[in-house]
Chains A and B, each alone.
Chain A
């Protein structure tokens, strides 16, 4: 029953996203693209933070690596954007592997502090025009628009469908992943990593894989961001970005529908409340406090996985959901 209601709301949300360009002007479509990008980032962070319970507050670093690899490969080597996308994802993944490998055994807030350090290191490296490639504080400009089978993606409405298409694919893939031995292993690690290790889960490897996968997705999101903006600068990947992505996942409660809802709340709501912009942070802080008191588990915690139980007829097999 609860599952059915979630399926219906997902369908309704999908239809809404498809129909949005009908009644949004360019400005609001840009907001939609932005929400979509944050959803992508939050979905990828959700694998690490929501599913495996690893306190990782440096996701903007992976996003930045993807965006800069895109910018550099596109402007210097003239790779088309869609060819760069997997390369940017892979670069982020390799970067994540390198930086997460030595810190993966750290627990809770210790890891959190190191991941904050990673964002800062990346931002400062970019700012210092690393290798003469990142353009320092000015960043990189002149990034080409993506061309999709001869169709040039330029307008906000095009980007809207591109980003939300990617969100759709990600939702499907991450849902499958959640509903598999991989997803269960991550959940076990989150619940009790020692118990997980003792029943045969290679905890370090799974944590690392979660990092690498999340980084790949963040890198791919970076490609879309770079192509949308055509100009990127280090300040777009500062610590606050990491915090926002982190907060989106925490607020969501860890389910995919929750991520969508909290991306809308975090990115869309401030735009709707432009008039109160001076009180924005106040409202924000208050809302966070109220959440902590009344709904510490987040907006929508993930539902139960459903199993088709063999040989158990009737109610048993359909329970849960």
Chain B
């Protein structure tokens, strides 16, 4: 069964049809890429899945459950985590607390437990701390746990976003242009990280401009243009698809 299924999704902004009757699905345990030229509606699709937008029409199923119209925090709780195209870390908070923010939804201590630091609350706090340090170690930022997120380099901030998303125990991780602003070495390392995330049993949906990365890590691609699906399949098949070549050559010269 597919982990995520999008059916007949349409999202309109004023007179602009950003996503047009789109349908695709993401298989559990896969790394899937969502690509397309600038303005194809990739991020809009993203925002509909994560609950930031509500699509005008269509249904989204996650793990068999209809999640259309759910609030973002509910969707995170169900197991979809995301990163942002434009980094949205809590810049003034230390790296560790950014990851702890992701862990928040898996913690249960209520207001009174937090005021009185009950034994259960302390235990939960210690476990969360340990888990979040593990996530920082996973992305290679453990030594910088105390640094304000805003002081990290651009590439490290992207990694911190991934760590924060992983701390929510996601089944599906959606990465919105994670290679943006990264150099070649960093992108190569990121490809390894994405594979390692999949090894942990997390399904990955990648929206990306950097074709090098997409071709290297994705097993399946969905190509959008003007909000509509124009091709899908294995990277090699998609690469040769005439519709895709036309869409890309018409837009800009992305390196293939």
- A positions within 8 Å CB-CB of B: 173-174, 176-177, 180-185, 187-188, 191-192, 194-203, 209, 213, 304-305, 307-312, 316, 319-320
Contacts and interface: CB of A to CB of B under 8 A. Distances in A.
The 10 tightest CB contacts between A and B, nearest first, are A200-B105, A200-B76, A180-B114, A195-B88, A191-B90, A182-B114, A319-B146, A197-B72, A199-B102, A173-B115
B88 A177 contact: no
A176 B117 contact: yes
13 contacts: A181-B104, A184-B101, A195-B90, A198-B73, A200-B73, A200-B77, A200-B102, A202-B71, A304-B94, A304-B146, A305-B97, A308-B126, A309-B96
B88 A198 contact: yes
Between B50, B101, B107, B129, the greatest number of chain A beta carbons within 10 A of the residue's beta carbon is seen for B101
What size tier do the contact residues of chain B reach?
35 or more
A144 B101 CA distance: 47
Contacts of B120: none
Contacts of A181: 100, 104, 107, 109, 114, 125, 128
A199 B165 contact: yes
Interface in B125-149: 125-126, 128-130, 133, 142-143, 145-146
A311 B94 contact: no
B73 A177 contact: no
A180 B126 CA distance: 11
B52 A198 contact: yes
B89 interface: yes
A213 B115 CA distance: 11
Contacts of A185: 101, 104
Interface residues of A, dominant DSSP = helix
A203 B76 CA distance: 13
A99 to B, nearest CB: 20
Contacts of A201: 73, 101, 104-105
Contact of B100 (A174, A184, A198, A203): A184
A199 B114 contact: no
Contacts of A187: 90, 93, 97
A198 B101 CA distance: 10
Contacts of B130: 310-311
B121 to A, nearest CB: 7
B117 A180 contact: yes
A316 B144 CA distance: 9
B192 to A, nearest CB: 23
A192 B88 contact: yes
Contacts of B73: 197-198, 200-203
B91 interface: yes
Contacts of A173: 115-116
B96 A307 contact: yes
B159 to A, nearest CB: 15
A309 to B, nearest CB: 6
B82 interface: yes
Nearest to B81: A199
Contact of A192 (B82, B90, B109, B117): B90
B129 A200 contact: no
B133 A198 contact: no
A316 B97 contact: no
A95 to B, nearest CB: 18
Contact of B50 (A177, A198, A213, A311): A198
Between A194, A195, A203, A310, the greatest number of chain B beta carbons within 10 A of the residue's beta carbon is seen for A195
B120 to A, nearest CB: 12
A59 to B, nearest CB: 19
Nearest to A320: B146
A46 B117 CA distance: 20
Contacts of A200: 73, 76-77, 102, 104-106, 168
B164 interface: yes
B171 to A, nearest CB: 14
Nearest to B127: A310
Given A199-B168, A316-B146, 19 more contacts: A176-B114, A176-B115, A176-B117, A180-B121, A182-B111, A185-B104, A194-B88, A195-B84, A198-B52, A198-B76, A199-B101, A200-B106, A201-B101, A202-B73, A213-B111, A304-B146, A308-B126, A309-B133, A312-B142
B216 interface: no
A95 B52 CA distance: 31
A316 B104 contact: no
Given A199-B101, A309-B129, A188 B115 contact: no
B92 interface: yes
B114 A177 contact: yes
A187 B88 CA distance: 14
A197 B84 CA distance: 13
Contacts of B96: 307, 309
A212 B40 CA distance: 44
A195 B157 CA distance: 14
A282 B160 CA distance: 48
Contact of A188 (B90, B94, B106, B117): B90
Contacts of B143: 316
B77 to A, nearest CB: 6
Contacts of A198: 50, 52, 72-73, 76, 82, 84, 88
